[in-house]
Amino acid sequence: MIVVDHVTKRFEGRLVLDDVSLTFARGKVTAIVGASGCGKSTLLRCINGLERHDSGRILVGELEVTQAPTTLHRVRREVGMVFQQYGLFSHMSALANVMEAPRSVLQLPHAEARARAEALLEKVGMSHRQAAFPRELSGGEQQRVAIARALAMQPSALLLDEPTAALDPERRVEVVKVLAALAKEGTTMVIVTHEPAVVGVADVAITLQRGRMVR
Amino acid sequence: MLALLVAFLAIGCGPRASQGKALDRLRAAGVLRWGADIQGGEPYVYDDPSQPGHLIGFEVELAAALARELGLRAELVQNDWANLVPSLERGTFDIVLNGLEVTASRTGRVLYTHPYYVFAERLMVRREDTELRADLGSLRGRRVGTLANSLAFEMLRGTAEPVVYDGVEEPYADLLSGRTDAVLLDDIIATRYGATKPGLKVLGDLRDGYYAIAVRPTEPDVKEAIDLALGHIAASGELKRILEASHIDNERQARLVTWSAADQAAMLGQPLPPPTFNRGHVVLFLKGAGITLFLSVFAMVIALPLGMLLSILRMYGGPVTRRLAGAYVEVYRGTPVLLQLYLLYYGLAPVLKLGAITAAIIGLGMNYAAYEAEVYRAGMQAVPKAQLEAALALGMPLPLALRRVILPQAVRHAIPNVTNDFIALLKDSSLVSVITVVELTKQMTITAVDVRSWIGPGLTCAALYFAMSYPLGILARRLEKKLEGERDESEAAPEAAPS
């Protein structure tokens, strides 16, 4: 469970999150919608500590999110994140991208990390391209690998920041399918999106307007 | 291209005055231009400390007296001391008057007038030294400081290991700090710059030598006129007064008053034909090239990791380390590497006695680290920000994210520029000759002065630099093309760019 409690965040004096309070329940999919610049992405980035919130509290399970390095690492292992721009490591194959964190962060043996990565690539329908480098993949394919990469850390929740915004309509479908399958399995997800099809996957939709919630 | 260069050099060879006309030319101009190096210092030619910009010294007095005798006005032309004779040959000035010793190898290339000073080659060692004696044999295999292309240098070559300097202060400073075993230089220099140091002592004089004025071989009339004028100046007691004023008169100078044709012949001895550029020189050049390559490789071995550390601190460090790393880069890029080498080698000597090669490698390495830091920084900035955020979001601590994600890509981006910098370093490494390292360029200048020609040594030297840098240049271009190709591919990939 993720609890956002009276959180406020300013960027150079501009109020981006204005006293936001929310609870994301385990096993539920929440869509956050709203106009560009309404603070949706900032909210996600505050939850996993990529941004520091100014006031209020954010709890991931029992953990309160702070900028202390040890806390940050524990929080980030609890919540995976998928970015609009994928952020795949250019110098690694799809398989190596998914294996990287289990190997270097969790220190899993090679065989175990590989088995986990192959299973996840299978799940997102990318087994056939596991040797390909990001530059050889389409945007939709890259995003599916990025989802597999986030899942490889076995997080208790997944944060997705406009996961389909950079894709062509026909490529969005493949990503939405993957999201729907994950929702069916009971994966906790918070998805920032503009995409009606993605909102359709969610159990709850929340609207943010100028940094405030307007359910 | 070679023929063109030779033709160009032949045209630029300076005045070819026909016999007997040179003196007329001087008289018509009304000026006697004399070549000297102010860096030689007191008491030869130097800046008047009480009146900066005004030159004084016993050679200034002598030049004025000579010019007066010839009905001319003396005009000093500043020239690097080791290259006074080549500059005379190409017509930069009319005579050389600057502690130019009469040596067998120079006797064949210039006309020497009668001498104006009799000096002694004086050997100095550290005060506590009890091993060395005042003869050349005891210097076998020892490091002995002296000036490049001097009589002492010629005496030492083949017996001791001469360590060459451009200035007169540095040889004694290095002797004192233990970098050399002895210094062999003219007594005037030894008295002024060596004997003033309490830690050093005079071991003895190895032989007498002469300072004489050098004239172009094609201008014997100028030599005759100067000999006559010198005779007057010596006979009238003016020369003695000039030397006394600089406190360098002694019993050896009495011979100058009665200098005869027989004395002149004895002084000149058998002129040695100038050596030609030969295979032995090429071997020395290859050795020089080896030192150049050695210095450059090891300097880069320092520059690459240090540069990477600096770039990481500059991009991801805290506010203080960020500023410190930035300051390092700006200071090293904003000051001449020559100055950095001087400070490292001579400036730090009292507290940190680095060997010349070590100082050269550290100096060049620390300088190039500043440039490599910028190259790496550009490489890191070329990695999309989303990749670092993705790595952090996966729970990687920053150092791990840098090591696994950012650096491998940044290094690939940096490789072409690093290769180009290495080529630049190969050439910049010639600057270390100021701290007594004889690398390829220094070997070239020493040889060129020896064999009276810049063409053979110059072209050989250029060919060696080219042979080292050209393959690297090709490599850099290939790597660049390869990287560009990859970038094109990634841009061409469907939907890779955000809408």
Of A50, A86, A91, the CB nearest to B392: A50
pLDDT tens-place string over residues A4-58? 999 999 888 888 888 889 999 888 999 999 887 778 889 999 999 999 999 999 9
Which residues does residue B186 pair with via DSSP β-bridges, in sequence order?
B121
Which residues does residue A4 pair with via DSSP β-bridges, in sequence order?
A22, A58
pLDDT tens-place string over residues A155-182? 999 999 999 888 888 888 888 998 899 9
Closest by alpha carbon to B59, among B85, B23, B32? B32
Closest by alpha carbon to A83, among A132, A150, A128, A138? A150
pLDDT at B39 over 70: yes
Task: Choose, out of B491, B495, B499, the residue to mutate when testing the contact with A (most A CBs < 10 Å).
Answer: B495
pLDDT tens-place string over residues B352-387? 888 899 999 999 999 999 999 999 999 999 999 999
pLDDT at B472 over 50: yes
* Locus of tokens 């001449």: B336
ipTM score for this prediction: 0.94
Banded model confidence at residue B497, pLDDT cuts 50, 70, 90: very low
pLDDT value for B491: 43
Cα–Cα separations (whole angstroms), residue B316 to A83, B327, B438: 22, 15, 41
pLDDT value for B158: 83
Which residues does residue A57 pair with via DSSP β-bridges, in sequence order?
A5
Of A81, A104, A139, the CB nearest to B494: A139
At residue B353's C-alpha, the angle toward residues B347 and B354, to 5°, is 95
User: How far is residue B163's CA from residue B82's CA, in Å, rounded to a whole number?
Assistant: 14
User: How far is residue A72's CA from residue A55's CA, in Å, rounded to a whole number?
Assistant: 17
Inter-chain CB proximity B393 and A86 less than 8 Å = no
Q: Which residue has the higher pLDDT, B298 or B472?
A: B298
User: How far is residue B440's CA from residue B427's CA, in Å, rounded to a whole number?
Assistant: 10
pLDDT tens-place string over residues A123-159? 999 999 999 999 999 999 999 999 999 999 999 999 9
pLDDT tens-place string over residues B160-216? 999 998 888 899 999 998 999 999 999 999 999 999 999 999 999 999 999 999 999
Q: Is residue A137 less than 8 Å (CB to CB) from chain B? A: yes
pLDDT tens-place string over residues A83-135? 999 999 999 999 999 999 999 999 999 999 999 999 999 999 999 999 999 99
* Mean pLDDT value of segment A62-77: 88
CA distance A76 to chain B (A): 5
Mean pLDDT, chain B, integer = 88
Inter-chain CB proximity B495 and A168 less than 8 Å = yes
| Tokens describing residue B100 | 């130019």
Banded model confidence at residue A67, pLDDT cuts 50, 70, 90: confident
Inter-chain CB proximity B493 and A80 less than 8 Å = no
Banded model confidence at residue B494, pLDDT cuts 50, 70, 90: very low
A137 contact residues in B (CB cutoff 8 A): 493
CB A7 within 8 A of CB A21: yes
Inter-chain CB proximity B495 and A135 less than 8 Å = no
Banded model confidence at residue B319, pLDDT cuts 50, 70, 90: very high
Closest by alpha carbon to A82, among A214, A212, A178? A178
* Mean pLDDT value of segment B282-311: 95
Inter-chain CB proximity B387 and A100 less than 8 Å = no
CB atoms within 10 A of CB B6: 12
Burial class, A30, CB count within 10 angstroms (exposed 0-12 / middle 13-18 / buried 19+) = buried
In chain B, % helix, strand, coil (3-state, to 5) comes to: 60, 15, 25
User: How far is residue B133's CA from residue B135's CA, in Å, rounded to a whole number?
Assistant: 6
Q: Which residues of B158-168 are buried (b: 16+ CB within 10 A; e: fewer)?
A: eebebbbbbbb
User: How far is residue A46's CA from residue B325's CA, in Å, rounded to a whole number?
Assistant: 30
Closest by alpha carbon to B211, among B181, B172, B246? B246
B405 contact residues in A (CB cutoff 8 A): 89, 100
Inter-chain CB proximity A105 and B400 less than 8 Å = yes
